[in-house]
A and B are shown apart, each in its own frame.
Chain A
């Protein structure tokens, strides 16, 4: 694993936050190393947006701390701010401005600004530079928000449901752009999405938010390689899991004294007789782990 350094793009320790007495994040720990591309998963209402906003210092935590590049997120200095790009779920653009005016305005805040990239993306993504933003479609507003976040070539990019308003072609364009970012600049990326096929293409690691914590963090390839759905007599299955000490991700009792378990089973592990084993897709895994 990567050595933990104080300048990790994201370093979160013991983060807790609730709304109206209802806990959302509960002592959450999370480190994202330079160059990692992490897909953030969780059911609706699991707190993904809250987590991203708190990581960025847009919300103050009840307990714990979030640091970006070693700098407390709630007191981010200009140098650290310039290294971060964010695409919020709700487009927060100034709707009375035109894209041209908006980008000129933001340009003033950053020491670096890739004008060629901005122009290229505006043309490729067919955004009218002189139309009021309010009159752009939801998809175009989302694209503009992405361009704004990429323009200053951030080292860390946080994207909250960045493709929710995009059609399949728009999503593919956007994924292409992310692949370019990663190939050319080694950008660290965290993005939340419900579109698991997109996540599989672009993310190398997944983090699953459940019950106010990251219930699962793993390289996606390893996870699909060894996650198995096991079914069998409860006693046999439990005895075997206890003996092997395998990581169990989800447990569900079945009828007739049988049990279903999702666990990480290394290649070549010998299964006792009477147990069925089945590989899982990311969607199967997500559903199994987040089932209430």
Chain B
């Protein structure tokens, strides 16, 4: 397994389809500059086996990222981060990528009857927790 494959994490049971989770994770790493242009993606097969996913699901995520200009296909096989991924605005800014998750947290906090102050305190606590933030099952 390449190191990159180990960086993905999939949450089954979410309203967000798995192919979109993969897309979002690639886009966030690219937008933040963690994966600069030319960074090589794992192969579809490799990522499918590493994450125990149907290869068609991984392939769909990669194809859409290609269509949106985030990834380019090199030598017909591996995908790499496109040179123009960030400049072309193919990846929205980091804040825009985080907003949907935050909206979900706010909605759930309201359902639980938590105040803004209580929620912010919980957010701070979660931020400081040392556990691996990617380790959701």
Contact = CB atoms under 8 A, between A and B. Distances in A.
A175 interface: yes
B17 interface: yes
A176 interface: yes
A152 B60 CA distance: 30
Given A176-B52, A179-B48, A279 B57 contact: no
Interface residue range, chain A: 20 to 34
A200 B18 contact: yes
A221 B51 CA distance: 17
B37 interface: no
A37 B56 contact: yes
Interface residues of B, number: 21
Interface stretch (B8-16, B70-78, B116-124, B127-135): B8-16
A221 B15 contact: no
A221 B18 contact: yes
Nearest to B51: A201
Contacts of A202: 52-54
Interface of B: 10, 12-20, 45, 48-49, 51-57, 60
B54 A37 contact: yes
A110 B55 CA distance: 29
Contacts of B48: 179, 183
B14 A281 contact: yes
Contact of A201 (B16, B45, B52, B60): B52
Contact of A282 (B13, B20, B53): B13
Interface of A: 37, 172, 175-176, 179-180, 182-183, 196-198, 200-204, 220-222, 224-225, 279-284
Contacts of A179: 48-49, 52-55
Given A204-B56, A221-B18, A183 B49 contact: yes
Contacts of A282: 13
B13 A200 contact: yes
A282 B18 CA distance: 11
A184 to B, nearest CB: 9
B30 to A, nearest CB: 21
B16 A180 contact: no
Contacts of B10: 201
A221 B57 CA distance: 8
B14 A182 contact: no
Contacts, number: 64
A203 B54 contact: yes
B12 A201 contact: yes
Given A37-B56, A204-B57, A221-B17, 18 more contacts: A176-B52, A179-B48, A179-B49, A179-B54, A182-B54, A182-B56, A183-B48, A196-B13, A198-B12, A203-B54, A204-B56, A221-B20, A221-B57, A224-B17, A225-B17, A280-B15, A281-B14, A283-B13
B49 A180 contact: yes
Nearest to A184: B45
A204 B54 contact: yes
A281 B55 contact: no
Contacts of B16: 224, 279
B108 to A, nearest CB: 12
14 contacts: A175-B52, A179-B55, A182-B56, A183-B55, A196-B12, A197-B13, A200-B12, A200-B18, A203-B54, A204-B57, A222-B17, A279-B15, A281-B15, A282-B13
Contacts of B49: 176, 179-180, 183
A183 B45 contact: yes
Nearest to B53: A201
A157 B55 CA distance: 17
Nearest to B56: A204
A218 to B, nearest CB: 11
B57 A197 contact: no
Nearest to B46: A183
A132 B25 CA distance: 49
A201 B48 CA distance: 9
A175 B10 CA distance: 15
A280 B17 CA distance: 10
